[in-house]
């Protein structure tokens, strides 16, 4: 099995491929892709397209990737009662709440187009898992205890799904309720399981911004499950979540 971790986009990115036909070039292609995405979308690099859009670059000059991200962001905003927004409270354009999951899904699709079926792509704790691991079992994904990060509170057994977690325990208060401009304060972690990493990531961000009612929002989405931990350490899960904790 090929497995490698590199620091890109300001976070650890891990590629694991269990197919016997996999080569190092398959893994390298994905890391090159993530490097390209970082150069284009980083809000911290003056030369990025994100910064150009924030400075007012005309829409007709945007790349196809940027147009796709903005389209998906606008769609997500409409689907989540306005709880997802790529504009920050101070009026800056920042699409990081949707780029990571989108990039993970695209990276997974690159492997699929190469004919690979058994792999996972993980970036900063969000993951897309496909097929089985080298032992022929589902991939295991741990949900961390936000109050004690070396402890796993739930282990998911994943195949052909995306998993994303939004929370305050790593990056602090970085997710805001767009309706108030203030960060969410009543929950500390919300994990979403979805058909792919893009879906998981965009809805995890929006549901977290909703606070305690976010888990009920996830419950209503077909093919989605969720696991929320509030500020008092009390966990709430959707009705079908437990099926992912069984091997």
The Cα 66–Cα 246 span in angstroms is 39
Q: Which residues of 71-91 are buried (b: 16+ CB within 10 A; e: fewer)?
A: ebbeebbeebeebbbbebeee
Parent domain of 124: 2-245
Assign residue 100 the CATH number of its domain. Answer: 3.10.520.10
pLDDT of residue 200: 98
| pLDDT in the model for residue 169 | 56
- Whole-number Cα distances in Å, 30 to 41, 64, 157, 173: 16, 19, 24, 30
Question: What pLDDT was estimated at residue 182?
Answer: 72
pLDDT per residue, tens digit, the chain (247 aa), is 999 999 999 999 999 999 999 999 999 999 999 999 999 999 999 999 999 999 999 999 999 999 999 999 999 999 999 999 999 888 999 999 899 999 999 999 999 999 999 999 999 999 999 999 999 999 999 999 999 989 999 999 999 999 999 987 555 455 767 877 777 779 999 999 999 999 999 999 999 999 999 999 999 999 999 999 999 999 999 999 999 999 8
Per-residue pLDDT at 179: 77
Q: What's the total number of domains in the chain? A: 1
The predicted structure's pLDDT at residue 3: 97
Q: Give the CA-trace dihedral at 51, 54, 56, 61, to 10 degrees.
A: 50
List the structure tokens of 244.
């992912």
Structure-token pair, residue 221: 């989405």
Q: Please enumerate in sequence order all residues whose Cβ is within 8 A of that of 203, keeping only pairs 6 or more positions apart, or say none.
A: 76, 80, 192, 194, 218, 221, 224
Q: What are phi and psi of 148, to 5 degrees?
A: -155, 90
């Amino acid at each position: 099995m090929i497995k490698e971790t590199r620091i890109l986009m300001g976070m650890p990115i891990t590629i694991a491929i269990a197919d016997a036909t996999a080569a190092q070039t398959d893994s390298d292609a994905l890391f090159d892709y993530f490097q390209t995405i970082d150069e284009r979308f980083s809000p911290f690099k003056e030369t990025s397209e994100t910064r150009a859009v924030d400075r007012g670059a005309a829409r007709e000059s945007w790349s196809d990737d940027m147009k796709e991200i903005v389209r998906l962001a606008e769609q997500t905003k409409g689907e989540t009662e306005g709880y997802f927004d790529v504009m920050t409270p101070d009026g800056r354009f920042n699409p990081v709440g949707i780029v990571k999951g989108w990039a993970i899904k695209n990276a997974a699709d690159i492997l699929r187009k190469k004919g690979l079926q058994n792999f996972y792509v993980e970036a900063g704790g969000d993951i897309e898992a496909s097929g089985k691991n080298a032992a022929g079992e589902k991939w295991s994904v741990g949900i961390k205890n936000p109050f004690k990060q070396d402890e796993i509170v739930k282990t998911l057994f994943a195949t052909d799904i995306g998993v994303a977690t939004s929370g305050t325990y790593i990056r602090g208060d970085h997710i805001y309720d767009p309706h108030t401009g203030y960060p969410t304060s009543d929950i500390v972690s919300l994990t979403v399981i979805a058909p792919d990493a893009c879906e998981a990531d965009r809805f995890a961000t929006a549901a977290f911004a909703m606070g305690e009612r976010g888990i009920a929002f996830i419950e209503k989405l077909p093919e989605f499950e969720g696991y929320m931990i509030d500020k008092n350490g009390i966990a709430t899960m959707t009705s079908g979540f437990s099926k992912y904790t069984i091997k």
